Structures are given as C-alpha cells and as structure tokens.
C-alpha cells in the first residue's frame, strides 16, 4: 500500500534506487545516532543531507507530477510524522437524513490510512507492507477498531482527517485519527485501532521484528501521541461474549462480492454493517451511533454465512452484564449512567455453520439531535 508517489514508482526498493537514497538508516538507530540520508530525486540535482523523513518529503516536493497526487487534497504534515486529507461528503455517502453514515466515516478512515502509507513509500499491494514484510510474506490485519463520532458531517460538508501510527506491543502497531469540520475547526470525531502482523501463508500471528520496526518507526511520532488518553480509552475495555438466547438477532448474512477488499477477504467496514443489522428498529429510528468498538477474532471469507447477535449492556454495581431474551440479568440491573436517552449494546458476529466467533463489539447510541 505504500509507494513514493511523487517519484512515480511502485516499490520502495525502486524508490530508493531512483531517488538515490544513500545511508538510509532505520528509526531505532536514528534516534540514537541522528543519521542522515543523502537524496537526489534526479541525476542532475545536487545532493544534500537529510533525515529519512525529510528525504521522502523532499522527493515528493521536487517530483510531484502524479495526477492522483495533484488531485488529492492531502499530504504529510510539516514534520512528516502524520498525514492530513480533506474530503467533501458526497450524496452516496449519506443516509435518508442527508447525514454521513458510520460506514462512510469508517471507509474514510481506511482511505486516509492507506494514503498515509503510500505517501511515505510503502507498498501498493493493499497490505501496507514494508520491504522486509513482503520478503517474509507478512501482512497487517486489524485486531481492534474504536470510533467515536461527536457530530456527523452532512451532505456537502468538508472534513479534514489527520492520522498517524506508532508501535504498540510485541506484535502490533497502533493507528489513530482525528476528524475536524473544516468550516468551524471543530473536532467532530476520533478513532484508534490496533493492527497485528500475520504470516500471509500460514495465517498465524507473528512478532514484529526489529528489522520491520526500523522500516516504519522512522515515520512515527517520537513520543506517544494518542487520540484517546489511555485512562479513558473505551476501546481497551473488555467486551463480554454474548451467549444465546439473545434479544435481537439477524441470521444468515452473506458477504457480497462488493464486500471483498483487495486482500480477498471481507472488508472491515462490512463488519460494522452486520452489527447494525441486528440493532432494534426503534433505536435506529430515534438514536444515532456515538461510539463503536470491534474486536476482530477471525477472518471472514466470501462464502461464509454470518449471524449477528445483539443484547443490551447493563450494569450490576460495577460489573457489566449482558441481557438475554427475557431482558433481566438480575432484578436490580440498570443502564449505566441511568440515562434513558443513551443505550448501550453488546454484539457478536459468528459463523452460522459452527458458531465460531468472528467479532465481538460494543455500541453506544444517543438521541438524534434536532437538525
């Protein structure tokens, strides 16, 4: 998913050759020794000393003639450690109320993440892989996604999304986003995600090696930068697994061909749509989604059949419980915050054939505002 778009190449190795990078050192060493890279984007230009991040940005600025990059309203920030892009909300991205859907928001997050990866020179194969990852047949897969929307943009609104990534744990990376309304500068949403490394052939998780870290950490913030503080990060909260019987369900959901992504499995955003399929109509009609968290357990293929299960999330003191068909976990269970305008649900996506878990999630819904 990454390339040097302005150098008009599709592979990082080609980019290094064409842009004539000399002595490009990985980020782990760079933080200790402050190495420099010499870059010349054309044989005739003079060479000068740059950090790896500056080298990428300089190459972009000097050779930026690609049509897609001239039309795209986005690019790396001044320090090269995050990426911003503006979008106009179009007619096919809104619902009957002319407001962007949560699927639209999630798709835009994926688009910005992909464009960020391309802008720093990673592969365009759909996996956002570094040269070492491609050599070892390693890919990134989503393990967790959390989105909060404070205000949904409407048809023809212009929003700007900023994204950046950083290391998280032994087998993962983290990508965060902040959404702003351009007209007012107001923050209208935030999101965070965790990605883990998988062997493309064996489909097993694999530890992120130092070699891989050295290839991508140079483009990450030097200090932790989080869209949500760890103290109040709802995405880290444990989600209980729903068990039958549940109050709400939608059975027999089948992926469409259009639900497959370039990696040949069901796109992450489709999971969000499946979760919404089992939300009760009375909630859909009167409330809007303010937060969603999904933990991905296994891949879903084109011919899998999926069940979507939903149950109310109630609390019993400080203990969270899910409610089954009869609606009463205990006689004293109450909704969190005792707010009748805010509803919370737990979700489970499973294979219809054998009940294996695909994903579990949590959603929060607020009363629709008067527009």
Query: What positions carry a catalytic annotation?
Result: 263, 265, 300
Distance (Å, whole) CA 26 – CA 37:
11
Distance (Å, whole) CA 223 – CA 97:
41
φ, ψ of residue 282 in degrees (nearest 5): -65, -25
Helices (H), 236-340: 268-277, 281-286
- Helix or strand (DSSP H, E) at 214: helix 210-216
The answer to whether 187 touches 178, Cβ cutoff 8 Å, is yes
- Helix or strand (DSSP H, E) at 196: strand 187-199
Residue 35 Cα distances to 29, 218, 232, 260, 284, angstroms = 8, 11, 37, 42, 55
The answer to whether 166 touches 220, Cβ cutoff 8 Å, is yes
Distance (Å, whole) CA 244 – CA 242:
7
43 preceded by a cis bond (ω within 30 of 0): no
* Three-class DSSP labels, 32-68: HHCCCEEECCCCCCCCEEECHHHHHHHHHHHHCCCHH
């Amino acid at each position: 998913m990454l390339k040097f778009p302005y150098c008009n190449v599709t592979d990082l190795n080609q980019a290094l050759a064409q842009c004539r990078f000399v002595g490009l050192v990985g980020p782990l060493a760079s933080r200790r020794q402050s190495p420099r890279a010499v870059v010349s984007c054309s044989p005739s230009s003079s060479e000068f000393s740059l950090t790896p991040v500056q080298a990428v940005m300089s190459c972009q600025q000097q050779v930026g003639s690609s049509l897609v990059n001239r039309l795209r309203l986005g690019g790396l920030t001044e320090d090269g450690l995050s990426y911003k892009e503006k979008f106009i909300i179009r007619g096919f991205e809104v619902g009957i109320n002319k407001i962007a859907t949560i699927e639209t928001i999630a798709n835009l997050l994926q688009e910005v993440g992909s464009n960020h990866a391309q802008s720093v020179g990673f592969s365009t194969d759909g996996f956002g892989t570094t040269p070492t990852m491609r050599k070892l047949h390693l890919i990134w897969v989503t393990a967790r996604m959390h989105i909060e929307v404070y205000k949904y943009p409407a048809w023809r609104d212009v929003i700007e999304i900023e994204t950046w990534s950083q290391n998280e744990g032994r087998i993962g990376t983290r990508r965060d986003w902040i959404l702003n309304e351009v007209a007012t500068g107001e923050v209208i949403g935030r999101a965070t995600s965790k990605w883990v490394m998988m062997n493309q052939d064996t489909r097993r998780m694999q530890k992120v090696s130092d070699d891989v870290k050295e290839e991508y950490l140079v483009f990450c913030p030097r200090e932790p930068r989080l869209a949500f503080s760890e103290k109040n990060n709802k995405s880290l909260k444990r989600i209980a697994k729903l068990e039958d019987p549940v109050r709400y369900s939608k059975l027999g959901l089948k992926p469409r061909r259009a639900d497959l992504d370039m990696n040949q499995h069901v796109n992450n955003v489709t999971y969000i749509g499946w979760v919404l399929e089992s939300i009760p109509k009375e909630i859909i009609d009167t409330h809007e989604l303010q937060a969603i968290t999904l933990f991905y357990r296994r891949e879903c293929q084109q011919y899998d059949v999926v069940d979507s299960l939903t149950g109310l999330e109630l609390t019993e003191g400080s203990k969270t419980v899910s409610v089954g068909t009869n609606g009463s976990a205990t006689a004293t269970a109450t909704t969190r915050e005792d707010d009748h305008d805010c509803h919370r649900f737990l979700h489970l996506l499973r294979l219809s054939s054998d009940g294996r878990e695909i994903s579990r999630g949590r959603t929060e819904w607020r009363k629709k505002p008067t527009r």
